[in-house]
Chains A and B, each alone.
Chain A
Amino acid sequence: MATGIKDKVAILGMGCSKFGERWDCEPADLMAEAFEECINDAGIEKNQIEAAWQATGIDTFNVGPGAIPLSMALRLPNIPVTKIENYCASGTEAFRAATYAVASGACDFALALGVEKLKDMGYGGLPQRSRGVTNDLHFPNVSAPGVFAQLAAGYTAKYSTNKEDLKRAMAHVSVKSHANGAKNPKAHLQRSITEDQAIRAPMIAEPIGLFDCCGVSDGAACAIVTTPEIARSLGKSDLVTVKALQLCVSNGEEVGFNDWDGSYIATTRHAVERAYNEAGIKNPREEISMTEVHDCFSITELVTMEDLRLSPEGGAVKDVLDGVFDAEGDLPCQIDGGLKCFGHPIGASGLRMLYEMYLQFQGRAGERQLSDPRLGLTHNLGGFPYQNVSSIAVVGRHEA
Chain B
Amino acid sequence: MIGITAFGAYLPRMRLQKKAIADANGWFDASLRGLGRGEKAVCNWDEDAITMAVEAATDCLGEESNRDPDGLIFASTSGPFLDRQHSVVIAEALNLNIDAIRTADVTASQRAATSALLFGLDIAAGNSASEVVVVASEHRRTQVATREEMLYGDGAAAIQIGDQNVIAEYIDSQSTADDFVDHYRADGSKYDYGWEERWVRDEGYLKIVPKAVNALLEKTQVSAAEIKHFILATDQGRVPGMIGKTLGLNGEAIADNLLDSVGITGAAHPMLLLAHRLEQAQPNDLILVVGFGQGCDAVLFRVTDAIGKNSPRFGVSGHLSRGRREENYNKFQSFNDLLDKGLGKRAEVDKQSYLTAMYRNRAFTTGFKGGKCSACGTIQIPMHRYCVNPQCGAGDTQQEYPMSNAVGHIATWTADELTFDFNPPAYFGMVVFDGGGRLMMDITEVDPEAFDTGVQVGVHFRVKQIDSQRGFRKYFWKAIQVQ
Structural contact, A257 and B413, CB atoms closer than 8 A: no
B284 at the interface (CB under 8 A from A): no
**Which candidate, B87-95, B133-141, B422-430, is the interface stretch facing chain A?**
B422-430
B349 and A128: CB pair below 8 A? Answer: yes
Q: Determine if B345 and A122 form an interchain contact, defined as CB atoms under 8 angstroms apart.
A: yes
B contact residues around A140 at 8 Å (CB): 426, 428, 440-442
Pick from A140, A252, A259 the residue with the most CB of B within 10 Å: A140
A98 adjacent to chain B (CB < 8 Å): no
User: Which residues B345-378 have CB closer than 8 A to chain A?
Assistant: 345-350, 353-354, 357-358, 360-361, 364-365, 378
Q: Mark B443-483, 1 if CB is under 8 A from A, else 0.
A: 00000000001100000000011000000001010000000
Which residue of chain A lies nearest to B411 when distances are taken between CB atoms in the complex? Answer: A262
- B246 contact set on A, CB distance < 8 A: none
> Is B414's CB under 8 angstroms from A137's CB?
no
> CB distance B412 to A157 under 8 Å?
yes
A262 B416 Cβ-Cβ under 8 A: no
* List of B residues within 8 angstroms of A204 by Cβ: 416-418
Question: Smallest CB-CB separation from A252: which chain B residue?
Answer: B388
Among listed B228-236, B297-305, B379-387, interface-contacting one: B379-387
CA distance A252 to B437 in the complex (A): 12
- By a CB distance below 8 angstroms, the chain B residues around A147 are 414
Stretch at the interface among A87-95, A148-156, A236-244, A367-375: A148-156
Q: Are B420 and A128 in contact (CB under 8 A)?
A: yes
Interface residue A146 (Cβ < 8 Å from any Cβ of B): yes
Q: How far is the CA of A130 from the CA of B354 in the complex (A)?
A: 12
Question: Does B285 lie at the interface of the complex (its beta carbon under 8 Å from any beta carbon of A)?
Answer: no
Contact of B242 with A by CB under 8 A: no
Q: What residues of A have a CB within 8 angstroms of the CB of B425 in the complex? A: 205-206
Q: Are B361 and A146 in contact (CB under 8 A)?
A: no
Q: Take A128-B420, A130-B349 as given contacts and tell me if A150 and B388 are in contact as well, using a CB distance cutoff of 8 Å.
A: no
Bound Cα distance A238, B299 (Å) = 94
Interface: B419 (CB within 8 A): yes
Chain A residues contacting B429 (CB-CB under 8 Å) are 150, 153
Count B-side interface residues using an 8 Å CB cutoff: 53
Report if A253 contacts B (CB, 8 A).
yes
- Please pick, from A128, A143, A150, A253, the residue contacting B413 in the complex, using a CB distance under 8 A: A150
How many Å lie between the Cα of A257 and that of B430 in the bound state? 11
* Partner pick for B436 among A156, A157, A258, A262, CB 8 A cutoff: A258
Shortest beta-carbon distance from A149 to chain B in Å: 4
Q: Please indicate the chain A residues that have their CB under 8 angstroms from the CB of B437 in the complex.
A: 256, 258
Q: How many residues of A contact B (CB 8 A)?
A: 45
Docked Cα-Cα span, A231 to B67, in Å, equals: 77
Chain B residues, Cβ within 8 Å of A122: 345
Task: Report if B306 contacts A (CB, 8 A).
Answer: no
The verdict on A143 contacting B419 (CB below 8 Å), with A129-B349, A137-B361 known, is yes
Considering the chains assembled together, what is the distance between the CA atoms of A261 and B418 in angstroms?
Answer: 25
0/1 string, A124-148, CB within 8 A of B gives 1? 0101111001101111111101110
Q: Assess the A153–B412 pair: CB atoms within 8 A.
A: yes
- Whether B436 and A146, one on each chain, are in contact in the complex, defined by CB atoms closer than 8 angstroms, is no
Q: Please tell me if B415 contacts chain A, counting CB pairs below 8 Å.
A: yes
Determine if A145 and B418 form an interchain contact, defined as CB atoms under 8 angstroms apart. yes
CA distance in complex: A138, B438 (Å):
13
Nearest CB of A to B52, in Å: 21
Q: Which residues of B contact A208 (CB under 8 A)?
A: 414
Give the contacting residue for B382; candidates A138, A150, A156, A261; CB below 8 A: A138
Verify A261–B411 contact, CB threshold 8 A.
Answer: yes
Q: Smallest CB–CB gap between A88 and chain B, Å?
A: 17
Q: Which of B350, B382, B439, B440 has the most CB of A within 10 A?
A: B440
Minimum C-beta distance from B454 to chain A (A): 7
* Other-chain residue from A123, A205, A258 in contact with B346 (beta carbon distance below 8 A): A123
Q: Are A252 and B419 in contact (CB under 8 A)?
A: no
Chain A residue nearest to B416 in the complex (CB): A146
- Which interface residue of B349, B364, B430, B432 has the most chain A CB atoms within 10 A? B430
- Given A123-B345, A203-B417, A205-B418, A257:B412 Cβ within 8 A: no
Q: Which B residues lie within 8 Å of A137 (CB)?
A: 353, 357-358, 361, 365, 464, 474, 476
The reply to whether A146 and B365 form a contact with Cβ atoms under 8 Å apart is no
- Whether the pair A146, B411 counts as a contact (CB closer than 8 A) is no
Residue in B353, B358, B428 whose beta carbon sits within 8 Å of that of A141 in the complex: B428
Taking a contact as CB atoms closer than 8 A, the residue among A127, A157, A257, A384 that contacts B438 in the complex is A257
In the complex, what residue of chain B is closest to A385 when comparing beta carbons?
B412
CB distance from A158 to the nearest CB of B (A): 10
A386 interface hit (Cβ, 8 Å):
yes
Q: Does B344 contact A (CB under 8 A)?
A: yes
Which residues of the partner chain A approach B440 to less than 8 Å between Cβ atoms? 139-140, 255, 384, 386
Interface residue B256 (Cβ < 8 Å from any Cβ of A): no
Given A255-B438, A256-B381, CB of A143 within 8 Å of CB of B364: no
Across the interface, name the chain A residue whose C-beta is closest to B371: A256
Is B148 on the interface with A (CB-CB < 8 A)? no
CB distance from B204 to the nearest CB of A (A): 46
Measured CB to CB, the closest approach of chain B to A385, in angstroms, equals 8
Are A257 and B378 in contact, CB atoms less than 8 angstroms apart? yes
List 18 extra interface pairs beyond A136-B474, A153-B453, A255-B438, CB under 8 A: A122-B345, A136-B465, A137-B357, A138-B364, A138-B464, A140-B441, A141-B419, A143-B418, A146-B414, A146-B426, A156-B453, A203-B415, A204-B416, A256-B381, A256-B384, A257-B380, A257-B438, A386-B430
6 example contacts (A-B, Cβ-Cβ < 8 A) are as follows A128-B349, A136-B474, A141-B420, A143-B416, A150-B413, A205-B418
- Smallest CB-CB A-B distances: 10 pairs: A146-B416, A143-B419, A140-B428, A150-B412, A149-B414, A153-B412, A262-B412, A256-B388, A143-B418, A205-B416
